[in-house]
A = this chain, B = another copy of it.
Amino acid sequence: MIIKKSNIDIKHGVVDMTHGSGGRATTELINEIFLHTFDNPHIRQGDDACVIDLDSKYSPPSDAYRLVITTDAHVVSPLFFPGGDIGSLAVNGTVNDLAMSGARPLYLTASFILEEGLPIEVLQRVVRSMALASSNAGVSIVAGDTKVVEKGKGDGIFISTTGVGYVDKNVNISGRNARVGDAIIISGTIGDHGVAVLSQRESLSFETKIESDSAALNSLVLEMLRIAPKGVHTLRDPTRGGLGVALNEIAHQSNVGVVLQESSIPVLPQVSAVCELLGLDPLYIANEGKLIAICDPNHVEALLAVMRAHPLGINASLIGVVTQDPNNFVQMTTKLGGQRMVDWLNAEQLPRIC
């Protein structure tokens, strides 16, 4: 699929319908923008599917490992925000979903839905950001696809990423494994991502120095599993819906209750201020570089220590406990000492946050 002369004008060009035709323009776009940037032996194969040797150093023998697969569509608006963009978000989000099963993320695929009129330069920025994020996370983008829709039938760039990894057979981490008495840890401050994206919306622009926490958590998880391989029962990245929805999901999956201590939940003062101003609850705001760990109480000290020693876990905090509760309620002891329900989110707080 090599064509020598390319007509792609990276500086001034825009995506048009021919870039989705499957013909010469599509090939040029793929060569110039994607293959060049994501370059690796797998994506270079040039077929519609990518073949991977399982006995390479990244593919352990099957009798010791299980395959893990996850997928996400990304429609964040705007495409760029403080601390990240749709490209790094797409990579980190999918890497994190794999990591939350205790897996080692290895391969990503990326499919793009581009809106006619998108500046090529914008696409290139996003693709480069994806390449950097994958390199940081230690994963390869091995296959991709690009489609183009007419102006007004899309919104710049949508990216769907799928991740494949392997998990050791002895690791058993799931939302179904929270046990009564378990401790609940959050790896850092909540709400940063949602508020950072919000700050870029035209209708809501406000001055803030808040950056998205978008990051790949697989190296943090590796450290945690090294120190307490059997002590971590559940991992979950509280993205869309935030900490509140993630804990409700886990409570249902494991048929338990949760009691949180509001005073222990780390929130940046700037995030608190924006939330108060706009009537938002940080508990339901999306995070893209944080994890919830539900773990054996005997391992909490050790886990907090390794987390706080990792750049992505400096503000790790013990925020609550798992309780017996046939209603699977998530409750919170407020800073004033009262009790409040942290209900499943009923309405839309922030659309298109990831």
Contact = CB atoms under 8 A, between A and B. Distances in A.
Nearest to A346: B24
Given A55-B63, A59-B62, A154-B153, A21 B349 contact: yes
Interface stretch (A119-127, A239-247, A300-308): A239-247
Contacts of A113: 73, 75, 113, 158, 160
A143 B37 CA distance: 28
Q: Which one of A49, A73, A154, A349 has the highest number of Cβ atoms from chain B below 10 Å of its Cβ? A: A49
A67 B49 contact: no
Contacts of A148: 351
A71 B21 CA distance: 17
Given A158-B113, A346-B24, A143 B71 contact: yes
Contacts of A286: 22
A320 interface: no
A164 B167 contact: no
A198 B56 CA distance: 45
Contacts of A72: 111, 145
B73 A112 contact: yes
A163 B100 CA distance: 21
B49 A162 contact: no
A208 interface: no
Nearest to A284: B23
A225 to B, nearest CB: 15
Interface in A42-63: 45-55, 59-63
Interface string A1-29: 11100000000000001101111111100
B163 A160 contact: no
A92 interface: no
A207 interface: no
A76 to B, nearest CB: 9
A74 interface: yes
A2 B23 CA distance: 46
A242 B17 CA distance: 16
B70 A347 contact: no
Interface stretch (A101-109, A181-189, A309-317): A101-109
Contact of A352 (B20, B25, B101, B110): B20
A251 to B, nearest CB: 10
14 contacts: A17-B351, A18-B347, A22-B241, A23-B241, A24-B345, A47-B253, A50-B68, A51-B68, A52-B69, A54-B65, A70-B109, A75-B147, A149-B158, A153-B154
Given A69-B143, A149-B158, 5 more contacts: A1-B253, A20-B75, A69-B107, A150-B351, A160-B160
